[in-house]
Structure 1
Amino acid sequence: MSVYQRRLKERKGSSLFRVRKVRSSDVQWKLNFSTNDYLGLSQHRHIRQAFKQAVDIWGVGSTGSPLLSGYSSAHQELEELLTDWLGKPRALLFNSGFAANHGVLTTLVDKQQKVFADKLVHASIIDGMQHSEAQFKRYPHNQPLPVVDKANAGDWLVTEGVFSMDGDACDLKLMASLKQQFDIKVMLDDAHGLGAYGSEGRGSTSSGSDAVDMLTGTFGKALGVGGAFVCAKDDEIESLIQFCRDYIYSTAMPPAQAAAIKSSIEIVRSAEGDERREQLAHRIQYFREQMKQRNLKIIDSNTAIQTWLFDSDTEALAMSKQLQANGYLCSVIRPPTVPVGTSRIRFSLTSNMPQVALESFWQVVDRIRDNL
């Protein structure tokens, strides 16, 4: 048996199961709890229009690496908008959040430095640490001390703004304090926070971007499009442009995509963005109240990511299948994606979920629980 066959056998029946996306004309979910489209922008008419207009100008592809023929004024305009929005010196675009995180850590960290990362950081950060030349250590979730007290000046502290599986947030004030105390560099992946929270949708850094030296994020969640970015100092961005293999040896994102992202950011920063974030906050509050009323086993989270924990994989899968049979797309997350004993249904809430549909959902949950 090959190593790949052995891995497949070990993984079968665990972790995520694949859900095929179909056209809305083929099937209609009553509620989709598995999307990261937190503000419901993926179908926004202004963003779609910006994409179509840019296709007429630029075509459907960038045609090359950003260092050759792939970089356009559409990319430059988006990078400049990001620096204005997020208050950082420079920005650089990547095709995915995975490439951005992996590229930063494999390019900018050297073997003289140590990296301290939260136990629950994304796989892209874990791979980036493993593929870098640095020593790294993962600390207990949201508890960087006493591990970080072994840090030297110039070492890295890496965390997420909103954690993708638990939905809770990092303590950015603590990160700022540790940065000042130990003279370390703070890297924050705000994939699940950007756009959905804070003033003008700035996410986790709304209350203090100075605490973060290296900010990464994605356009594929609350912004509803795709791709990612890194914000950092000028010399760090220049180093990524010159040496980052994830950036240099990838075809740039299509200019039309950059134009669509630019339109999305403009909406996120507007009064409409404020209204969508307020609607999302109401959905989160209602959903949490319903879980607490039923004494469900949950994780404390005030974000769009809500979790229902189960005592076994079997129970989680049974509930998920029943919910899907009733028209609710609810995905089970099982080991090794999450620790053993924490299998869960992960709910992603969006601002455009009708209140009446959420109320009907909980009626269905009650009926299923009574019959299981």
Structure 2
Amino acid sequence: MSMDRLNAALAADVEQLRTEGRLKPAERVINGYLPPAGARGPRWLVEGRDQEFIRMNSNSFLSLGHIPELMKAADEAAAKFGVGPGAVRFIDGTFTPHTDLEARIAGFLGKPAGKIFNSAYTASLGLALSIQNDKTYWVGDALNHNCIIRAMRVAGVPRANKAIYRHNDIDHLKECLAAIPEGIERVIVIFDGIFSMRGEVAPLAQINEAVAPYREKFKDGLITVVDDSHGVGAFGDTGRGTIEFTGAPADVIMGTFGKAFGVNGGYIAASNELVEAVRQKADTYIYTNPLSVADCAAADKAVELVDSEWGVKRLRYLHERIAQFREGLDELGLESISGPHPVVPLMVRDGDKTRRMVRDFESRGVLVVGLAWPIVPEGDDTIRFQVNASHSEEDIAEVLRVLSEIV
């Protein structure tokens, strides 16, 4: 058969992943949802398992996915415009919900303009493709998300035109800036706002201080770009993410509607000129159909809700549950990385123990994420908990009880 030899080669590639400890397990299939009842939060059903689960592995930090207002907005948009756009944005695939959402997220983040994408990943690729040229230099954090690393590669950034500074190390960032070679006309300093594996915050004020002497040095200037996919919506008193929490601005904000906002899609919020360059040059925007109008309408409603007194109360409740969980870890004498973000890492520091604890959690009705070598460095083996606003006080207490039994 024509595929036989390729199939054999690909099977060997997958087997090599198994040998290296990098093979991903079979995906669990969620096939049911039980709404909150009494003192407990929602429960999830998994195909092939006769059990109800608490999800401590969801990025839906504000738990907006089942809010009636979002579902109503999605239904009404689909009823009016249909379930799919039928074309790319440039060929009459732009509908009112697309432009409404772009205006909404830009206004929420205090930027003149916004542009939406099918995901934050494609937003990152689109940004890099739009602003990279042969005289651009990139400076990034060592723990940046894969979407940033891949964006530089897809945009064709040569090794000589980029530098990586040690994670959150401002002194090393300054060294990288001082070493930018002659002939560079444009500098992009890019970093995660919240580092998703550890829940750590980028020191944005210190980054701004470090880059300040270089902003006028280059012909096209120096800009800061923050991927705040884990920050916007879930972090800061009003959900405006890292810029609000640190009290420091960023020139460009990338993010997602698929985490705290509970829907789907990504965005860039920045100047009118940068957003227009993205619209004109980003392959990941130009050559693909956009988000469905249902996604856009639901995301628009999500941002509207977060930007309200209801949203502030929801964030306050989320932060109370985060504090409850972190206090419980402290009472158990367990190691974590401090911080107020809903991503709470438990530092296990042993790969076999991490894998065993993940299995034990699942057997007791709690879904968590285990991160062991080679996904993380040896000795940094971690269980990543993600606290959501749908978790009740009793849910958090139950997870801590299970943890006390299996640690």
Give the TM-score category using the shorter length. Answer: over 0.9
Aligned to 1:174: 206
Aligned to 1:19: 28
Q: Which runs of 5+ in 1 are unaligned?
A: none
Query: What amino acid is the match of 1:268?
Result: V
Q: TM-score, normalised by structure 2?
A: 0.86
CA distance in 2, matches of 1:197, 1:15: 33
Aligned length: 369
Q: TM-score, normalised by structure 1?
A: 0.93
| 246-255 or 336-345, larger mean C-alpha shift | 336-345
Deviation at 1:284, TM superposition (A): 1.2
| Counterpart check, 1:198 vs 2:236 | yes
* Aligned match for 1:69, one of 92, 104, 117: 92
| Counterpart check, 1:252 vs 2:302 | no
| Counterpart check, 1:117 vs 2:140 | yes
| 216-225 or 104-113, larger mean C-alpha shift | 104-113
| 293-302 or 262-271, larger mean C-alpha shift | 293-302
CA distance in 1, matches of 2:13, 2:205: 41
Query: What amino acid is the match of 1:166?
Result: R
Deviation at 1:37, TM superposition (A): 0.8
Deviation at 1:181, TM superposition (A): 1.8
Deviation at 1:293, TM superposition (A): 2.1
Is contact 1:187–1:214 with CA below 8 Å preserved after alignment? yes
Deviation at 1:259, TM superposition (A): 0.8
* Aligned match for 1:47, one of 70, 77, 85: 70
Is contact 1:193–1:204 with CA below 8 Å preserved after alignment? yes
Query: What amino acid is the match of 1:78?
Result: L
* Aligned match for 1:147, one of 161, 176, 179: 176
CA distance in 2, matches of 1:334, 1:208: 30
CA distance in 1, matches of 2:401, 2:238: 35
Query: Which string of whole-angstrom CA distances, capped at 9 and with x for unpartnered residues, describes residues 193-229 of structure 1?
Result: 0011224321112267873111100000000000010
Report the RMSD for the aligned CA atoms in angstroms: 2.0
CA distance in 2, matches of 1:311, 1:176: 33
Deviation at 1:5, TM superposition (A): 4.0
| 104-113 or 146-155, larger mean C-alpha shift | 146-155
Deviation at 1:179, TM superposition (A): 3.1
Aligned to 1:288: 326
Deviation at 1:368, TM superposition (A): 2.2
CA distance in 2, matches of 1:166, 1:105: 25
CA distance in 1, matches of 2:52, 2:188: 43
Q: Between the two proteins, what is the percent identity of the paired residues? A: 25
CA distance in 2, matches of 1:58, 1:257: 12
Aligned to 1:93: 116
Aligned to 2:385: 347
Aligned to 1:138: 164
SS of structure 1 residue aligned to 2:163: strand
| 328-337 or 73-82, larger mean C-alpha shift | 328-337
Query: What amino acid is the match of 2:240?
Result: R
CA distance in 2, matches of 1:77, 1:191: 20
Is contact 2:118–2:291 with CA below 8 Å preserved after alignment? yes
Query: Which string of whole-angstrom CA distances, capped at 9 and with x for unpartnered residues, describes residues 22-46 of structure 1?
Result: 2226456442011111011010010
| Counterpart check, 1:311 vs 2:311 | no
Query: Which string of whole-angstrom CA distances, capped at 9 and with x for unpartnered residues, describes residues 134-188 of structure 1?
Result: 3222211111232233246631111111111011100110122123221121010
